[in-house]
């Protein structure tokens, strides 16, 4: 069986969706499927270029009469699911959130001009039509599924996926807190930096890069270390040696970092408005769920840094949580 895994690609940006789709292709090939990533460049700004990028996917022809046509296409995030195919499976990472719940927030990008209103409505209309075409419709989290139902009326089955493959292990519960992810405003690393400034016991290592890095470095105290993008072995080493992982983005889709931390038996500290991570992190069971404010973060991290036995107990239960996600189960449901 030939399977095309579809994803858009912002040039020179590689994040969770790219890790997920690359791994999906590798797992399909390991099960003797003929699988490839099909991608096209995506421009999300200005808005007329966004509309053009969306229509490019709508015009892609991978139907039965194409040379070496795929038997199945698996579409992931906007606008790849606009592709037409008689056997289209959507494993939804997210829609174009600026056209929905992020509209008229500081993360939005559409004005009230006639052109912007038209483009935003066009995205919504295309979503309802193209996602409604899917032979099967899955979402990576309950949060993504609920957004989809609110915006289109469509119902998706929830199908989370395992985190990226690293040499996960737990060497010790060290004296630092780890933050992993792209450095942009929605990831809220700034909240962690403010918490570190409030509590002298908090040492932080920040992994990742992005548009906010320079600003975040300028405001960080001397107990915060930025290491930028790191290789898989170094990332696994950091997970293996930290005390806990802070991960509290705004209304995150899924939150692969949560399961990476759990695979290393480390507790996750997140916030009550973090979205996807709340489907895995249970306060007092495998991590902490606290108010989205620096003081609450500081108190939770101070408690874990002062009590290694607590961090170990929460981390062990997190490891049990992560063990429930396997590629065998995911692919079986995806292609059943």
Q: Is 251 exposed, middle or buried (0-12, 13-18, 19+ CB in 10 A)?
A: middle
Q: How big, in percent rounded to 5, are the helix, strand and coil portions of the chain? A: 45, 20, 40
Q: Crossing angle of helices 256-263/16-30, nearest 10°?
A: 60
**Kind plus residue range of the DSSP H or E element containing 249:** none
39-55 as b/e: b if 16+ CB within 10 A? eeebeeeebeebbebbe
| pLDDT digits (tens), the chain, 336 positions | 999 999 999 888 888 889 999 999 999 999 999 999 999 999 989 999 999 999 999 998 887 666 778 999 999 999 999 999 999 999 999 999 999 999 999 999 999 999 999 999 999 999 999 999 999 999 999 999 999 999 999 999 999 999 999 999 999 999 999 999 999 999 999 999 999 999 999 999 999 999 999 999 999 999 999 999 999 999 999 999 999 999 999 999 999 999 999 999 999 999 999 999 999 999 999 999 999 999 999 999 999 999 999 999 999 999 999 999 999 999 999 998
């Amino acid at each position: 069986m030939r399977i095309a895994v579809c994803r858009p690609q912002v040039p020179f940006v590689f994040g969770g969706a790219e890790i997920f789709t690359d791994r999906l292709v590798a797992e399909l090939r390991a099960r003797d499927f003929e699988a490839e990533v099909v991608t096209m460049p995506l421009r999300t700004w200005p808005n007329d270029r966004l509309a053009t990028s969306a229509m490019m996917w709508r015009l892609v022809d991978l139907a039965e009469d194409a040379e070496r046509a795929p038997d199945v296409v698996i579409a992931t995030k906007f606008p790849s699911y606009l592709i037409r195919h008689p056997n289209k499976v959507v494993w939804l990472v997210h829609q174009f959130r600026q056209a929905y719940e992020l509209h008229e927030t500081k993360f939005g990008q559409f004005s009230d001009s006639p052109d912007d209103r038209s483009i935003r409505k066009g995205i919504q209309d295309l979503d309802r039509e193209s996602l409604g075409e899917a032979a099967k419709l899955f979402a990576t989290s309950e949060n993504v599924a609920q957004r989809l139902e609110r915006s289109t009326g469509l119902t998706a089955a929830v199908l989370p996926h395992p985190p990226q493959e690293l040499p996960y292990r737990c060497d010790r519960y060290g004296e630092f807190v780890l933050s992993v992810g792209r450095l942009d405003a929605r990831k809220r690393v700034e909240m962690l930096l403010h918490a570190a400034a409030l509590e002298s016991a908090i040492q932080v290592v920040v992994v990742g890069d992005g548009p906010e890095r320079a600003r975040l470095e300028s405001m960080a105290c001397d107990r915060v270390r930025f290491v930028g993008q790191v290789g898989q072995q170094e990332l696994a080493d950091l997970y293996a040696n930290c005390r806990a992982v802070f991960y509290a983005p705004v209304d995150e889709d899924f939150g692969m970092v949560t399961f990476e931390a759990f695979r290393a038996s480390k507790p996750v500290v997140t916030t009550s408005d973090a979205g996807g991570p709340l489907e895995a992190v249970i306060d007092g069971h495998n991590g902490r769920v606290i108010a989205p404010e620096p003081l609450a973060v500081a108190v939770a991290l101070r408690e874990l840094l002062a009590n290694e036995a607590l961090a170990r107990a929460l981390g062990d239960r997190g490891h049990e949580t992560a063990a429930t996600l396997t590629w065998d189960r995911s692919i079986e449901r995806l292609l059943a």
